[in-house]
Amino acid sequence: MSEFMNQLSERGSGALGKKMGIEIIEASPQRLVATMPVEGNTQPLGLLHGGASVVLAESLGSIGTQLHAGPDRRIVGVDINATHHKSATKGIVTAVATAISLGKTVCTYEIIITNDENQRTCTARITCLILAQR
C-alpha cells in the first residue's frame, strides 16, 4: 500500500489541483493535510474564491477515499457541502481532512481550512462512494 500511497500523493489532486497550486503535505486514509495559495485562486474582490476552498476539500476527501479503497477500486464524490466562515486575501490556506467514516462502500471526511493566522476560513464535508472492483 505504501507504493500506492506514494503514487497517489505524487499525482496530487490532478490537473485542476496543479493549476490551483494544491500541495499534499500528508496523506493517509485517516488524515490528510494540504496547502493552497490564495493568490491565483481569488474572486474579483481579491478574496479566496469559495469554489477554490471546495476544490481543495474535495481533492483531500477523494484522495483519502482512494487510499482507503485501494488501487483496484474506483471512487466518486457523491456529496459535498461547505460553510465559509472568514475570508483569506493573501498567503496560503491549509486544509486538514479527518475521516469521519471509512466503510466498505462509503467514506466521509470533515475538512477544516485555515488561513495563515490559523483562523478557520471554511468547514467542509464530503462523502465519496467506492465503486465495485474493476
- Whether the Cβ atoms of residue 32 and residue 60 lie closer than 8 Å to each other: yes
Marked catalytic residue, from 23, 58, 110, 117: 58
Question: How far apart, in whole angstroms, are the C-alpha atoms of residue 66 and residue 91?
Answer: 29
Clarify whether 39 is annotated catalytic.
no
Question: How far apart, in whole angstroms, are the C-alpha atoms of residue 69 and residue 63?
Answer: 10
Residues with catalytic function: 58
